[in-house]
Structure formats: structure tokens, C-alpha cells
Structure 1
């Protein structure tokens, strides 16, 4: 069976009516019995809005013609937006009312952490109602208030409400802040479309979230360090902690991004494992010749520079902390890296990217092709950065070309129609970021364009160099660069096939 194929419902004897029919995979009953029980529960709970109570005939079943029930539901008064006004209490028909939310300052300790199982033997486990009903009602009201402000659909609001009730029912200390690690249990209910992100957003907005999530780089580093000798792993942990948290003692360090730390570790770990396999228990035993040999194994100048930078960062801190006797990277220089010759894009690639049939791609490409802004600036642009026919970015004011204005206007119309209630302030958003306030990723930008965004910027800079006859000062002021990065563009003036 393919991985994405949905299994067919089983066929068997219904335990309620005894007929041979298709059974629901979770309840084990036929469809007519499930609908009869659901209508009966609604009627017994006091839901007077559902006029289809005729199907809840005791001792019988109400038949429906195919497709007629859906049309009947659309014609019923008060049937729309029912998910938003679903009663909180079992016998209540009123929407949840806002109330005070005061997290408890204490937490009841448990003897051991039990694994939460919400699905057992292919069936959903029946959970008790939340122990603090007022808190559940207040949190659901907060979700209803938070959702429309951030452009959530009714289904997403309903998902958040159901997820909140599940987490409240599983609390060991009712009323205490909910840990983010505890909310991960909702991933077991993925078939019911329960996701963690909207639930965490609502909890954080009312101060009920205890964010104990561990960055992904920490377990990854622990896994990598577990294969090293104890002393070497301890020394590497000292460097890892200083890089991520900063250091106020020598050598003083600013907090580095996880991406920088991961890049250094990815380069250094293969050599560290090789040294450990050779019998070295500590980085104190590593000599300059071994570091030279590691750098000599680089296949290209850029890789050699990365190796030297990674070991220089590690040994410089360990030497200052007194964990190694000498810094073996002293006097070791990386190779001079010459940038690759920038190549222009073809006319067909530019025309395809500017095709107005796809407003998002056309707007992204227009800003890159006509004005050569940086890819990171595309991601961080806000709606208010585009005003009066100008683009305000990083202290620069760019007068937009008519073709760019036309495509931006088309994209903004598409954005308004597609996500009319989104609260995301960024100019470029997608399906994922429309319900959040974060910016889009590099992957999304490059995938939407079909070509890496940096290629469009290189093409624009290359065109400017050739059009101005090699005026690097003008290009530096236009694109916010210094002179050295522009020298590789200047070298293409006499290049055969790239002449202006």
C-alpha cells in the first residue's frame, strides 16, 4: 500500500443494529447508528437549533438520500459558523464567555512521568472533561478572540479549541501553566487535524504557556558529542556553551547564532572523530601538524577556510580557558578565495519570472531584477515599507520602476483577496505564515522564484557594471556594497561573451 493511501473502512456487523455495513474505524458502528446517537446526544443536551432531531427516533433510523442532507444543512437557520459557537458545557448552547485567566504559581509533583497515549489499539481514548470548567471556557473564548485578529479560519479556531480542552484534561496540576513539551502529545491526534502551533499561540497570548522547548541544535550536539571521549566531549561542550550563550570573561564572545555553531561543528566533527579513533582522549594532544593535515585535505579553497575558521574558534577559547596548553591554529592562514565569475541570466528566464500570471513570483522577481535588493530584505519587508511609490529598506529609499509598481499592486490585490484578515505585517506571506507573524523562509523564496534569489541580484549588479563602463563606486552606492566584492564583477568587462 502506498504511504499516502488511506485504508478502506472495515466491513462487518454493527453491534448496535446488527446489519452488515461499513463500520467507522474508531467507533465500530455503522453510519446510520452513529448519526442517530449524535442527534440524540444533541437533543438531550438541549440543542434546539438542530431541527434534524427526527433522525433520533428511538428504536429506528432515519434514512437520507445521497447529497440531500448536506443541502438541508446549508438551508437550515443558524447552521453556519457552528464550529465557532460550539457549546463549551455539555448542556449549554451559549458560546464560551471570556473570564479571568490566572495561572497557578505552583505545580504538583508526580512520582514518575507517564507516557500519554491518546490513541490505543487504533481507537481514540475517551478523555474526561477539563477539571476547571471556567478556565476551559475562558481559554476557548481567548482562542475565539485571538483567531480573527490573526486571520485564522473557523476550522483553525476549532482546532485550537479542541486542543486546549485535550491539554486541560491531561494536566497533573489543573490551572498551572501548560508546558510546550506537554502540548506535543497533540501530534498523536493528527488524524483529527489537531496541531500544536495554534494551541501554543493562544496559550502564549494569555500567559498560560511554559515554554520549555529545547532548541534542535542541543540534542543534535549531545548526540554528536556522545561518540567522543569524555574529556574531548567536555572541552567541546565548554566551547559550545560559550558560543550559544556568550561570554563576559576572556575571550569575550557575543552570542553566535545556532546556524554559525552548527556550521563550525559540521566541519570539525569528522576530524575530531578521526583523532578520537587514533587514540587521542583530549584536544590538548592535538598538534599543529594535525591541524595542518586536516586543512590540507580540503578539496577547494573555501573548504580549507571553513576548516581553519572552525578549529581557530574552538582552540582560541580553550586556550584562553586553560583547557589546552597551546593553540595549534596560531599562524595558520586560510587560502585566498576568489569568487566565481558571475554569469548573466537568459532573457527567457527573466521573462518567465516576471510573468504576471503568478503575482507572488512576479513581485519577488521584479524587486530583484530591477532594483537588486538582497534576498534577506525580501523576507523582512513590511507592508509599510512600500509607500508613495518608494521602497524604504535598511535606511535606503528606492524609487520603484513602473513595472515593479504594477506587479506589486497586482500582488497586493492577490494578497488581500487570498488572506483578507491576516495579521502578518510582512509584505510577502504564504499559506504557512498567513496565520502567524513570522517572515517567510529562504526556501520558500527560492522555490517560488524557481531560481535562487541571489542569481537575480548578481545579474542586476553585472548589468549595472557593464552599463556604467565599470564604475564600481556608483555600483557600490546603488547596491550597498563595498569595493572588494565588486571586483569579480569588474573582471567580466573584458570577458568574452559578457561584454556590454
Structure 2
């Protein structure tokens, strides 16, 4: 074994003859090198340790003698092998540590060495870096608990020795071309029993699933993505969702039910875009229960069976209409919901009193059950007349107890002015969508539906076309329009959505935003803001009904509502600001 740096052998002195080479021997003392010995020169012997002819002193070569220039040893700080005496037995990094950190006992190995900010010497720190798990912090105590791995000095930072090799990267797979024409079957196999699938197993299996559905829809997905400006991430989400549907459906050629698509979020799938692709491919089957049907069931489940069956007949006619005499048109779900909401308390009261069928209801019972006045009475009268007229026409009841009820008039509310400060704050909103929507309603009295359905082609040369109205845009509306169009082009540069207002959900499709956009981020409501604008114009124009009809496209009856309304703003309320005030 080679002698260490603390061996008794020291760097020998120089020869007193040539003053360049080292003396031949220190013990016994010889003050000359072999070339300068009296009677010489003499040939130096080979190294007694390695046999090298590069003699240095004391029978050793320059690599075996502790004082030789090529003698290697361990770093006194990190114990790394491969340092020289001329560098004070320290590696390059430890020499830097010695000038930046104090020397003190290490908190983890107890050695006295330069200690960093974490309380660890460099050896403990390098050991912790070797065993560092990705995604976790460095554990100095745990890494140095069972020993330390030595390393070579002045080398790059050692890599993790216990980390398993990374798995080979799987090549990118694209769905292959269909092996045969994909012909979906018309029928849908009903499930014998519902079975809950393991999301992890389904997701892992769908990762490499490449069935006929995926192959058939691959080109449709590419064309749909290119046409609607989908991102790569959105396109890949749809492909993964199609593989999920291919994985857990019962038959390969079966059409996809909407209820199956709605379960995709359980497996991190996409709903809306996947439904667009399946609908474009003609593979989507609508099997969702209408919301009005669910609402009806929740409101009538406690009623007696005969009464509930009669109500179901009425609901079917209201939803689908009737092509046989007496013919009826289908009604809007919102109107049906209002009538169900008004009729349910009355029907519940009759059921509690012992009435099991609507055939037992008399005119007096109907008159006594109706609310005294107000909007609830109007809706209840409408619902009663509709319910009993349908049941009487279908011969389910013998009489129509609601026949004597007078036709209710339309409930008319009084329009009131809004707080000017709230309108000004909304017009100055940093959100360009809010500022433009509020400006269109505040200056041109558009309805919420009209605002959402405005298309880019409806705005030409500073004029807005809304139905039969050709509206010159007000001066405060134009800068807000430019700001929104710049934001729209910057955020969704590839969208082909024709509507003026788009959102993150509607940008890759051809639909208009929902009823809550962008009003859910404001304290204003479009109907109240529209009424405020019309009310201000009615009183500013002296109650000219014809002017209101021409300006806002209203009927005479609707204009009279604003002309007859009193303008009594509170100290903090006023009419909507004019274009000069905005």
C-alpha cells in the first residue's frame, strides 16, 4: 500500500551540487543526487515500489514518494481520490468551499470540514444528491444513514447510482387505416346489470387501444381540428376519449350513447369535443332524459298514482304537442317548468286533503286554491287552464273545472333606473368582453339573446344589423369593440366561430356563448340595464311612443310600459349615461 500524505517521508531537500534534483536519500542522509555523487555519476536504482526508472528519492519514483509531484492521495475534505500535494491535498471544489464556508463538525457524519448552509460537508451533500428521488427534496439524514459512496476528485458531479434506468420511450402511435368499412349497427344492446369499471384499468388499456371506431374517426378528428383551430392537446384529448369509448362499450360496431360520453371525465376524457366528432361521424345517439322530465319527477313523486299518471299525460302533450284533434303546439321547457312550479303546491294540498285523481276536482276547489294576486296567480291560472283543458279533450276528466277562470293578463312590472356609478364601473371594466356587452345594452338596449347572437358579419362600417334594425354604433361603443376584437384575435387566432363573443368553450365550435356570459362577472343584469336605457330615452324624448318603437324595435304596448312609468330616481340613481358622459 502506498504511504498516505501524513507518512513520515517528507519532500526531500535539493542536491547541494546541482540545486535542481532531489537528494538520493534522506535516511541515511545523502546530500547529493546520484548524478552528483562523488566518483559518479551513478545510475539510480529502479523504484522499490513500482519498479519505475523515474527515480525521485529514498528509493521511490516521483509517483510513489509522498513528496513527489505525481503522488496521488485523497482529498482532506471530501475524501475524493486523485489530488496532489501541490494543491494542498484538496480537490478544486473543496478549495472553493474552504474559502466560502467555515470549518466545523458536520451535522451528519461528524467530520471536521468546511460545512455549507445546510449543516453538511461536501461529502454528505454529494451522497444525498446521488440518492435524490425526482420530485422530492434532498434527504441529507436518510442518504448518509448507512454509509457513503466515494468518488474521484475533479470529476463531474456523480450521477445517481441506485436510480433504475429509464424505460424505453414508446414510439408515437397513430391510428392505422380502417381494415374494412365501418358500418355501425342501429340497435343498442341493453345492459343486464350495471358494473362499475376500474378507471385505472380502463385508462391503461385504452392507452394502446386501436379499434375500428378509432380508425374510422381518425380522419374526422384531423379535419375537425384543422377546421375549428383545435390545439394539439385538445386533438389528443379527443383521440384518447375515443379509445376510452372503444374500450368499455359492449359491441365494437355499436353507436355511442350520450350517457356513455358523459362518463368520460371519470377516465380523464373529453366530453364536448368528443360529442362534436361523434355527431359529425353519425355515431351519436341521444339518450339523455330531458331536464324538464327530471324536474317533473322530483316535484310529483309524492302525489298519488292516478294523479301522477294524469300529470304525465299533460306533460307529454305540453312537451311534444298533439297532431290529432284537438291539435296543440309544443310549449317551451321554461314555460312548462313555470307551470309545474305553480301547480305543485296546489296539487300537494289536494292530495293531503284526500284527493287522488284530478277527476274529483271541482270549480270551487280550483277557485279556493289559487293565490290571491300577483305573478303566482297568473302562472297558476295559466297552468290550471292548460292542465284541465288537455285532460278534458283527451276524455280523462269529465269536466273542466278551470273553464270559468278568466284568462290572466300578462304580469307587468315597473321599470326602474339603475345606479349610474355601477354602470360606469362596468363600462370601464378591464375585461373587454364585459365592457363591450355593457356598452351594447346601455347605449343600444339590446337584449341578452341579441348580444350573444351578434355575428362578426353583422358589423359593417360602424353599423350593427340586428334583425330589421340597422343601428349606428355610438362613439363609446366603438373603442370597446376594437379592444374586444384585438383580444379575440390574440387569444383565439385560429377560431372560425362566426359570433362576436366567444369563450374558451365556444372558440373551437360554431355556437354562441351561454346566457351567463359575461354577466356572471358583473353586478348588472342585461334586462335591468336595457330597461334603464329605454326608460331614460322615453323621458328624454317626452314620451314619444313612435320614437321608442322605431329606435328599439318595440311594440306599442311595450313602449307604453316605459312611457307611463314614473322616473323617480334615488339620490344615487340616475339614467344611463349618454355618449358624451361615457
Q: What RMSD in Å do the two structures reach over aligned CA positions? A: 3.2
1:258 CA drift (Å): 1.5
Residue 198 (structure 2) aligns with: 118
**Residues 382 and 408 of structure 2 are in contact (CA less than 8 Å); yes or no, is this contact kept in structure 1?**
no
Classify 1:181/1:358 alpha carbon distance in 2 versus 1 (closer, same or farther; 3 Å): closer
Residue of structure 2 aligned with 1:392, choices 465, 475, 499: 465
- Is residue 203 from structure 1 mapped to residue 278 from structure 2 by the alignment? yes
Classify 1:469/1:493 alpha carbon distance in 2 versus 1 (closer, same or farther; 3 Å): farther
Residue 10 (structure 2) aligns with: none
1:98 CA drift (Å): 6.0
**Secondary structure at 2:516 match in 1:** helix
Looking at structure 1, the residues matched to 286 and 568 of structure 2 have their Cα atoms a distance apart, in angstroms, of 56
Looking at structure 2, the residues matched to 499 and 364 of structure 1 have their Cα atoms a distance apart, in angstroms, of 20
Looking at structure 2, the residues matched to 118 and 442 of structure 1 have their Cα atoms a distance apart, in angstroms, of 37
**Secondary structure at 1:366 match in 2:** helix
Looking at structure 2, the residues matched to 494 and 119 of structure 1 have their Cα atoms a distance apart, in angstroms, of 62
Classify 1:253/1:92 alpha carbon distance in 2 versus 1 (closer, same or farther; 3 Å): same
**Secondary structure at 1:398 match in 2:** strand
Looking at structure 1, the residues matched to 505 and 527 of structure 2 have their Cα atoms a distance apart, in angstroms, of 23
Residues 51-450 of structure 1 correspond to what in structure 2 (within 5 A)?
61=164, 93=172, 95-96=174-175, 102-105=182-185, 109=189, 112-119=192-199, 126-127=204-205, 133-189=211-267, 192=268, 194-295=269-370, 297-298=371-372, 300-333=373-406, 339-355=412-428, 357-450=430-523
- Rg: which structure is higher? 2
Flag structure 1 segments of 5+ consecutive residues without an equivalent.
Answer: 1-18, 25-54, 64-89
Deviations 1:454-491 (A, max 9, x none): 12211111111112111111112211212222333223
1:318 CA drift (Å): 0.8
Flag structure 2 segments of 5+ consecutive residues without an equivalent.
Answer: 1-130, 137-158, 576-582
**Residues 492 and 499 of structure 1 are in contact (CA less than 8 Å); yes or no, is this contact kept in structure 2?**
no
**Secondary structure at 1:440 match in 2:** coil
**Residues 419 and 574 of structure 2 are in contact (CA less than 8 Å); yes or no, is this contact kept in structure 1?**
no
Deviations 1:147-197 (A, max 9, x none): 2322332222221111110111123211322222222332322xx3x2322
**Residues 379 and 439 of structure 1 are in contact (CA less than 8 Å); yes or no, is this contact kept in structure 2?**
yes
1:321 CA drift (Å): 1.1
1:373 CA drift (Å): 1.4
Q: 90-99 or 150-159: which moved more?
A: 90-99
Larger RCO (CA under 8 A, 6+ residues apart): 1
Residue 537 (structure 2) aligns with: 464
Deviations 1:267-297 (A, max 9, x none): 11121122112111111111112211221x3
1:92 CA drift (Å): 5.8
Looking at structure 2, the residues matched to 127 and 499 of structure 1 have their Cα atoms a distance apart, in angstroms, of 64
Classify 1:241/1:228 alpha carbon distance in 2 versus 1 (closer, same or farther; 3 Å): same
Classify 1:439/1:333 alpha carbon distance in 2 versus 1 (closer, same or farther; 3 Å): same
Looking at structure 1, the residues matched to 393 and 359 of structure 2 have their Cα atoms a distance apart, in angstroms, of 13
TM-score (ref. length: structure 1): 0.75
Looking at structure 1, the residues matched to 451 and 188 of structure 2 have their Cα atoms a distance apart, in angstroms, of 48
Deviations 1:8-45 (A, max 9, x none): xxxxxxxxxxx997999xxxxxxxxxxxxxxxxxxxxx
**Residues 381 and 408 of structure 2 are in contact (CA less than 8 Å); yes or no, is this contact kept in structure 1?**
no
Looking at structure 2, the residues matched to 222 and 496 of structure 1 have their Cα atoms a distance apart, in angstroms, of 45
TM-score (ref. length: structure 2): 0.65
**Secondary structure at 1:339 match in 2:** coil
**Residues 470 and 493 of structure 1 are in contact (CA less than 8 Å); yes or no, is this contact kept in structure 2?**
no
**Residues 205 and 247 of structure 2 are in contact (CA less than 8 Å); yes or no, is this contact kept in structure 1?**
yes
**Secondary structure at 2:465 match in 1:** strand
**Residues 159 and 195 of structure 1 are in contact (CA less than 8 Å); yes or no, is this contact kept in structure 2?**
yes
